[in-house]
Chains A and B, each alone.
Chain A
Amino acid sequence: MTSLYKLVGGVSLLALLGGCASLSGDGGFGAVASVSEQRTGAPASVAGRLPRNEDDARALAAVIGKKLEQPLSADDAVQVALLNNRGLQATYWSLGVAEADLVQAGRVQNPVLDFKRSHGGGEVGIERTLTFNLVGLITAPMASRIEGRRFEQTKLLVSNEALKVAADTRRAWVDAVAAAQIADYAKQVEASAQASAELSERMRKAGNWSALDMAREQAYHAQTVADVTHTQKAAVAAREKLTRLLGLSGEQAAYRLPDHLPDLPAAPRELANVEQAAVDERLDIQAAKLDTEQTASTLGLTRTTRFINVLDLGAVRNTDGPTATRGYELTLEIPLFDWGSARVARAEATYMQSVNQLAQAAVQARSEARASYADYRASYDLARHYRDRVLPLRKQISEQTLLRYNGMLMSVFELLADAREQATAVSGYIGALRDYWIAQANLEAAQGGRLSTNKGVQP
């Protein structure tokens, strides 16, 4: 008896402790929001919590509306996406699910009270059984730890998702601005070709040019009109991709973007040890680590309980007629046919799977870090080459062409052809600049968030 009461006493203590793991109220969002803000530079919510009601929705709309009053900068685009991307919002809520699991795991299964009343032959039999899941009591702390890790992992994965959305948004913003800029240049080229085509028509009218000469100039113009349509298509597609990431629709979808990409920074980032930083900082790596730790714990648990499937402890008080008998009841499954070895093997396999997945994630992260940094530096060099060599030379050519036009050494058509070539060089520069900013976003993503040394050079 005494031992039973001790046991029951222990159980109540455990039950009490288990009850301590309670719901936080924000479903762990606060922690995620702070990681995400630290890594992206943009808060993940308006009021520090996820919007739940009309008031929250209005506050969110007000914040976004204010951002959209100006041409949307890359940082603002990231901010809007973190606040407003519905896929990301859905992911935030998965935190709540994970937290609920955690709390649930920390709670001991409710005791079961069996009450049986029987009567027959004038006798009333009352049978009361109070049963606890004893194994639940024994394993509760362990399960709680596991769920705790799972929750931590979920937080990391959700934060990582936020970083992904931020990086995608930054890339989409760069693409959209560049595409619009390229479309603009295509229009300029078309305008020069149109001037040329018009002039060629007048040359023909004045009797100075053959139908062949005129057709050549006009064919070029026709081609540039097609090019304008191509670039406009691309610009619309790029902008819509951004719009989706921003979660905007209706009037808000008419947001404005800057006319051109930000200038190339004076110098590229010098990053030492990009691989180490990636392994240390990337949230997906951290999540994979937690996963491995978790499976290790699970393995330990499985080993501990391999013989015990169900261990039920019951306090029994039987009232059978006038006499009441007290006692307890223990049910133990005898591992006659299942020694639990399959479960342990499964847990071990799962553990090894997790270990290798972590190793793979680390290899991938290191490679991505190297590749993205190399790409970043090469993209910088290329954009700088365009800015410092290609464009100045083009400008020089244009100036010299104009001088030759002045001296009647070249015709106005050559002047226009040169203007078109210059626009092509400018498009090349926009493309190179776009690639640079995208390479930087990729580098950040591969490094697990905003580069600490990158302040002030964000697009």
Chain B
Amino acid sequence: MTDRRSFLSGAALIGAGMVTKAAVASLPEAPVQSSPATQAPLSPPNGRPYNPVVTLNGWTLPWRMKDGVKEFHLVAEPVVREIAPGMTANLWGYNGQSPGPTIEVVEGDRVRIFVTNKLPEHTSVHWHGQRLPNGMDGVTGLTQPGIPPGKTFVYEFVAKHAGTFMYHPHADEMAQMAMGMMGFWVTHPRDPKQHAVDRDFVFLLNAYDIDPGSYTPKINTMTDFNLWTFNSRAFPGIDPMVVRKDDRVRIRVGNLTMTNHPVHLHGHTFEVTGTDGGWVRPAARWPEVTTDIAVGQMRAIEFIADEPGDWSFHCHKSHHTMNAMGHSVPTMIGVDHSGVAEKINNLVPGYMVMGDKGAAMDGMQMPLPENTLPMMTGDGPFGGLDMGGMFTVVKVREGLARNDYKDPGWYKHPPGSVAHEWTGELPPAPRAPGAPPAKASEAMDVKRDGDMHHHH
């Protein structure tokens, strides 16, 4: 395997050797974040006030004010990202993380962003969705030369419009985005009361193809990814979105994968209040429980968290709530293994029959290749969740403090409010007149027995 040190050293050397000391001294600090945990919102220490957002499993980039200009410093570099506990990935990102830190500014701010390239190849930053001078658009070849390894370029423009944006390279885009180069951008309205919400979560959708046992994404994969992530994290590595009951909650999602994602919230209805283009007029908003986010799009959804509980929030493409899986593994459901299993076991010691009743792996503790997440995983208060990938939980609780994002644990259901086994009389099933009586065993054949694996 590649360890963090050897993976990072090659590119870091290029950077260190080529950035001159004088250049570094005049640059604003480039803070680095090494933790994959969700960081507390960054209240603006200076400049215009705004309501900061919370980046799911991410953080916001601090800035310095210089002559009324907000100066940020992004360092494009190789990083090691923990996709979920038990699995790390060799990615490219910014300031120690992939995705990079969220940049928050206020409508009308003049923004200056220094971009230092510590990658082994040239890069650029495209400020996706922004209205800015053409030469600041960050498209290599078209509007600027690429930033060579070891060099620092500066971008400067006024954040004209409030809204939800992203940033990503527009240089060797396919490789650099497949390696995790991206970040979130929020331009807050000049008036903090405008569009104000109590909790404002942001994250990007991204996908990687990392072979079990390896660490670096296969950048040439086009559609058959095996890790579907929120901010380069896969469930159970994604933090819950903790909200106070009756909070107005906004979730802003940007899609930088190669396919669309219908994100779906349980227990509430929401409205799509914003796109990349700006805010949706209230009269044009549709009530939704699922909204499709196409490739390269941003959506802001809003809802009142009026139902306490632990509510699923996930992409509704069911393969996208799975981790690494064999997409060409044949279906084994209903296949009788008796006799054959013993023969196979003679040849392959350690073989167990799997999949003959379905694919659920709950309770299964079997050794896996290194650096791999189980296909579906995550434990809840009632057992295995059988989920992975683009899945998390919105935790609605009463009586939280305004800035309290701490995981409150599992929801304590009021007595009698949880589905439970029926132990009373079963009413007879209605049958068509003259139909033969049903065989009791038929239903049993497809019922899972809870213990999916068999030791032969």
B-binding residues in A (CB < 8 A): 188, 191-192, 194-195, 198-199, 202-203, 205-209, 213, 398, 400, 402-413, 415-416, 419
B22 within 8 A of A: no
B339 within 8 A of A: yes
* Complex alpha-carbon distance, A194 and B442, angstroms: 30
Main secondary structure of the interface of B (DSSP, over half): loop
Task: Report which of A191, A206, A408, A416 forms a contact with B326, defined as CB distance below 8 A.
Answer: A408
Residues on the A chain within 8 Å of B337, using CB: 199, 202
Main secondary structure of the interface of A (DSSP, over half): helix
Please, could you name 14 A-B residue pairs with CB atoms under 8 Å apart, sorted by A? A199-B344, A203-B335, A206-B335, A400-B213, A400-B369, A402-B350, A403-B213, A407-B325, A407-B368, A408-B354, A409-B325, A409-B326, A411-B330, A412-B332
Q: Enumerate B317-352 residues with CB–CB distance to A below 8 Å.
A: 324-326, 328-337, 339-340, 343-344, 346-348, 350-352
B96 within 8 A of A: no
Residues on the B chain within 8 Å of A407, using CB: 212, 324-326, 366, 368-369, 372, 374-375
Whether A415 lies near B329 (C-beta < 8 A) is: no
Q: How many residues of B contact A (CB 8 A)?
A: 36
* Complex alpha-carbon distance, A409 and B210, angstroms: 12
B355 within 8 A of A: yes
B24 within 8 A of A: no
* Complex alpha-carbon distance, A419 and B19, angstroms: 54
Residues on the B chain within 8 Å of A207, using CB: 334
Whether A409 lies near B369 (C-beta < 8 A) is: yes
A424 smallest CB distance to B (angstroms): 13
Whether A411 lies near B372 (C-beta < 8 A) is: no
Beyond A205-B336, A407-B324, A412-B332, list 13 extra A-B contacts (CB 8 Å). Answer: A198-B340, A198-B343, A199-B344, A202-B335, A206-B335, A213-B330, A402-B348, A403-B213, A408-B354, A408-B359, A409-B372, A413-B330, A416-B348
Our count of residue pairs bridging A and B at CB distance below 8 angstroms stands at 107
Whether B375 lies near A199 (C-beta < 8 A) is: no
Whether B340 lies near A419 (C-beta < 8 A) is: no
Nearest neighbor of A400 in chain B, beta-carbon distance = B369
Residues on the A chain within 8 Å of B351, using CB: 402, 405, 412, 415
Nearest neighbor of A403 in chain B, beta-carbon distance = B369
* Complex alpha-carbon distance, A402 and B351, angstroms: 7
B374 smallest CB distance to A (angstroms): 7
Known: A198-B339, A206-B335. A408 touches B347 (CB 8 A): no
Known: A400-B369, A410-B329. A208 touches B344 (CB 8 A): no
Nearest neighbor of A410 in chain B, beta-carbon distance = B326
Nearest neighbor of B331 in chain A, beta-carbon distance = A208
A455 smallest CB distance to B (angstroms): 38
Known: A408-B355, A408-B375, A411-B326. A416 touches B347 (CB 8 A): yes
Nearest neighbor of B453 in chain A, beta-carbon distance = A406
Q: Enumerate B60-83 residues with CB–CB distance to A below 8 Å.
A: none
Whether B347 lies near A404 (C-beta < 8 A) is: no
A-binding residues in B (CB < 8 A): 212-213, 324-326, 328-337, 339-340, 343-344, 346-348, 350-352, 354-355, 359, 361, 366-369, 372, 374-375
Whether B347 lies near A188 (C-beta < 8 A) is: yes
A152 smallest CB distance to B (angstroms): 60
A105 smallest CB distance to B (angstroms): 71
Nearest neighbor of A213 in chain B, beta-carbon distance = B330
Whether A191 lies near B347 (C-beta < 8 A) is: yes
A203 smallest CB distance to B (angstroms): 5
Task: Report which of A194, A198, A206, A406 forms a contact with B333, defined as CB distance below 8 A.
Answer: A206
Whether A406 lies near B367 (C-beta < 8 A) is: yes
Whether B348 lies near A419 (C-beta < 8 A) is: yes
* Complex alpha-carbon distance, A454 and B137, angstroms: 79
Residues on the B chain within 8 Å of A413, using CB: 330
Known: A188-B347, A402-B350. A208 touches B334 (CB 8 A): yes
Rank and list the top 7 A-B pairs by shortest CB-CB distance, nearest first.
Answer: A406-B366, A195-B343, A206-B334, A409-B326, A411-B329, A419-B347, A403-B369
Nearest neighbor of A412 in chain B, beta-carbon distance = B344
Residues on the A chain within 8 Å of B368, using CB: 403, 406-407
A426 smallest CB distance to B (angstroms): 12
Whether B325 lies near A408 (C-beta < 8 A) is: yes
Whether B333 lies near A208 (C-beta < 8 A) is: yes
Residues on the B chain within 8 Å of A199, using CB: 335, 337, 340, 344
Residues on the A chain within 8 Å of B344, using CB: 192, 195, 199, 412, 415-416
Residues on the A chain within 8 Å of B340, using CB: 195, 198-199, 202
Residues on the B chain within 8 Å of A409, using CB: 212, 324-326, 329, 369, 372, 375
B378 smallest CB distance to A (angstroms): 16
Residues on the A chain within 8 Å of B343, using CB: 191-192, 194-195, 198
Residues on the A chain within 8 Å of B332, using CB: 203, 208, 411-412
B344 smallest CB distance to A (angstroms): 5
B351 smallest CB distance to A (angstroms): 7
Nearest neighbor of A419 in chain B, beta-carbon distance = B347
* Complex alpha-carbon distance, A191 and B368, angstroms: 27
Task: Report which of A198, A202, A205, A408 forms a contact with B361, defined as CB distance below 8 A.
Answer: A408
* Complex alpha-carbon distance, A416 and B369, angstroms: 18
A8 smallest CB distance to B (angstroms): 92
B199 smallest CB distance to A (angstroms): 36
* Complex alpha-carbon distance, A192 and B343, angstroms: 7
* Complex alpha-carbon distance, A411 and B359, angstroms: 12
Nearest neighbor of A422 in chain B, beta-carbon distance = B347
Residues on the A chain within 8 Å of B346, using CB: 191
Residues on the B chain within 8 Å of A208, using CB: 330-335
* Complex alpha-carbon distance, A202 and B331, angstroms: 12
B319 smallest CB distance to A (angstroms): 12
B352 smallest CB distance to A (angstroms): 8
Residues on the B chain within 8 Å of A209, using CB: 330
* Complex alpha-carbon distance, A413 and B354, angstroms: 12
Residues on the B chain within 8 Å of A419, using CB: 347-348
Known: A195-B343, A408-B355. A415 touches B348 (CB 8 A): yes
B358 smallest CB distance to A (angstroms): 11
Nearest neighbor of B376 in chain A, beta-carbon distance = A408
Residues on the B chain within 8 Å of A408, using CB: 325-326, 329, 354-355, 359, 361, 375
Task: Report which of B212, B336, B350 forms a contact with A404, defined as CB distance below 8 A.
Answer: B212
